Structure 1
Amino acid sequence: MDSNLLKVFVEVAKKKSISLAAKKLKVTQTNVSLRIKQLEKNISFELFHRVPKGVLLTKEGEKLLPLAEEIVDKVKEATSQIRNIKKQDSLIIGSTYSNTKMRLIPLLKKLNKDHCEIKLELVTNNTIALTQMLLEYKVDIAFINNEPKHENLILLKKFDNDLLFIESKKEASKKTILGHEGICAFFNASKIYYEYLGISDYEVLEMANFEVILACVELGMGSTILPKSIVQRYGYLNKVKITKVDKSIVNIPTCLVCRKNNVPKISTYLKKVSLDE
């Protein structure tokens, strides 16, 4: 059975739509439709019911889906392992936006110095997206917030973050939490800290990046929690009022992780590497 046809089938089943699957796979809708028809011809069963809003799996399709997902995952795993079967010639690194500012540059410098033979690729996103990319073999390693919970992911190295509650020196900070995005770990940490302070009637305001957040805190528009390294990097340690957050209240380590079955050849190096600039 052609694994490429199964890959298309799995994507259509996930999206419940030919058009959305085509967009995800970066092919035409006609291409997707033809591949589904080819797969249905090969197994002599219809896999989808066509409905006005998209497609739904038939009973046969429901039975095939878990098997198809397993085959597609095995092909991805084999491809990944064969790519580095002799040596680690490439490494796709995922990183959260905050860690890009804190540790990614030091890592790149060390890798270029100690393993110049490795071709590096970089991807930045949030922890949820990076976790999914690891599971789908789209990145080899990733810096995420907190230890991984998925059974197929393992921890290579953990970095502690000194978290600071940041307020304006000049103005009384409004009861407003300033954050990067709703799913940002530090944004959620701010909410936990507000609860610890007994503040429940607060507003939240999302902003484009950490530098903008810090500037707005200085102006008295609100408060936030960020790692000390980010506050220091942007030169705000002496511009704002800071309170160290006890780890018993909230703790967000940065964790370097990978798949259990896709451990980089240089994993020992990565476990020992120091990223202090």
Structure 2
Amino acid sequence: MDLQALKVFQTVAKMGTISAAARELNYAQSNITTKIQQLENHLQTTLFHRHNRGIILTSKGESLLIYAKRIFRLIDETNKVMKDDQTPKGPLMIGSMETTAAIRLPALLSKYHQGYPDVDLTIITGPTEQHLHGVLQYELDGAFVSGPIEHPEIIQETVFEEELVLITDMKQPSLSSLKEIENRTLLVFRSGCSYRAKLEDWLHQEGVVPNKIMEFGTLDAIIGCVAAGLGISMLPYSVVAKQINGGTLRQHKLPNPYGKVDTLFIYRKDKYVATPLTKFLNLLSEEKGLGEARNLIQI
């Protein structure tokens, strides 16, 4: 099979029109059409339905697109394997929940950068659902997410255990019942956030319907607005300990199973673990071991 024709097919499927694919690849439209026809003749099937506004994939075209993505992913991975001389260098894409990135990762990332300065490390923050999708689609090398995660294509390791607390402004007295905050606004990250899902599940189980839900894009915005009395939220204690101890937020303990959550590091089973990710996993394991040892000393 002609790999160039397969790449043209993939680009046409992505762009939706022959003309857009031609601009993307810097080809003449006639060359794009010829490559598609050659591929259809080789496979003896029709890959696109043509219409006035462009083209859409046939069922066979949709199947071929799945295999094309696998083929080019394997080619890319093969190149990485052949070029990997066990020297930590090149790109490393890691996803993280914003709370984890803000509190748990700075020291780890600093140590990694100092040890492996030739690695182009990128941290992308977002909710668990987004990062699981990114890992599964080979867009991320790995990610810190909230557990539990059950997926046959994922390797996971528990790296932190977080205590979750309900937070309010200081004017809110200690809660004897969730009904006391039924008319408060819920301040949360966008859909896909595991902490939001836990809070909504808890409220649902208790029969409490929040007055309003407001979505925020940053951790600082949620903490600041809760402190100002705009509403309530649920976050890891490690994230808000400073504000709680400083008297700007009030914490309210949560019952099991809502009060504890594991932070996992996940990556794909079938993906080649390149040297940059191997070193990251090793450092993560070392830091986890040191943390457990410190906890034992404190006990």
Q: Which residue of 2 aligns with 1:18?
A: 17
- CA deviations 1:115-158 (Å, max 9, x no partner) are 33551421313233323332343332221222443322211443
Asked if 1 retains the 8 angstrom alpha-carbon contact of 2:77 and 2:272, the reply is yes
Relative to structure 1, the CA distance from residue 62 to residue 166 in structure 2 (aligned partners, 3 Å threshold; closer, same or farther) is closer
**Contact kept in structure 2, 1:81 and 1:262, CA below 8 Å:** yes
1:253 aligns with 2:262: yes
Mean Cα displacement is larger for which, 159-168 or 256-265? 256-265
**Shift of residue 226, structure 1, vs aligned partner:** 0.5
Counterpart of 1:199 (choices 208, 230, 243) is 208
Structure 1 residue 262 and structure 2 residue 272: aligned? yes
Counterpart position of 1:94: 95
CA spacing shift, 1:175–1:11, aligned 2, 3 Å = farther
1:94-135 Cα offsets, whole Å, 9 max, x none, are: 22222210222121122134x335514213132333233323
How far residue 225 of structure 1 moved from its aligned partner, in angstroms, is 0.2
Q: Distance in 2 between matches of 1:36 and 1:149?
A: 43
Residue type matched to 2:65 in 1?
A: L
Which residue does the alignment assign to 2:111? 110
The reply to whether residue 273 of structure 1 matches residue 287 of structure 2 is yes
Q: Using the alignment, how far apart are the partners of 1:7 and 1:144 within structure 2? A: 33
**8 Å Cα contact 2:166/2:254 also seen in 1:** yes
What are the within-5 Å matches in structure 2 for residues 170-185 of structure 1? 170-171=171-172, 174-185=183-194
Q: Structure 1: where are the runs of 5+ without partners?
A: none
Residue 129 of structure 1 corresponds to which residue in structure 2? 130
Q: Identical aligned pairs, as a percentage?
A: 25
Distance 1:149 1:2 in 2: 38
Q: Is the CA contact 1:156–1:258 (under 8 Å) kept in the aligned structure 2?
A: no
- TM-fit CA distance, 1:163: 0.6
- 1:40–1:47: 8 Å Cα contact kept in structure 2? no
Residues 1:218 and 2:235 aligned together? no
8 Å CA contact retained: 2:5, 2:39 = no
The aligned counterpart of 2:178 is none
User: Following the alignment from structure 1 to structure 2, what is the Cα–Cα distance between the partners of residues 117 and 231?
Assistant: 32
Are residues 1:58 and 2:67 paired? Answer: no
> Does residue 1:141 correspond to 2:142, yes or no?
yes
* Matching of residue 71 in structure 1 with residue 71 in structure 2: yes
Tell me the number of residue pairs that the alignment of Structure 1 and Structure 2 aligns.
270
CA RMSD, 1 decimal: 3.3
Which stretches in structure 2 are left out of the alignment for 5+ residues? Answer: 174-180, 295-299
| TM-score computed with the length of structure 1 as normaliser | 0.80
Q: Select between 87-96 and 213-222 the one with higher mean Cα deviation.
A: 87-96
Letter in 1 for 2:58: T
Task: Pick the structure with more helix per residue.
Answer: 2
Can you list the C-alpha shifts for 1:215-253, whole angstroms capped at 9, x where unaligned? 2212222111001121135x3443222122244136432
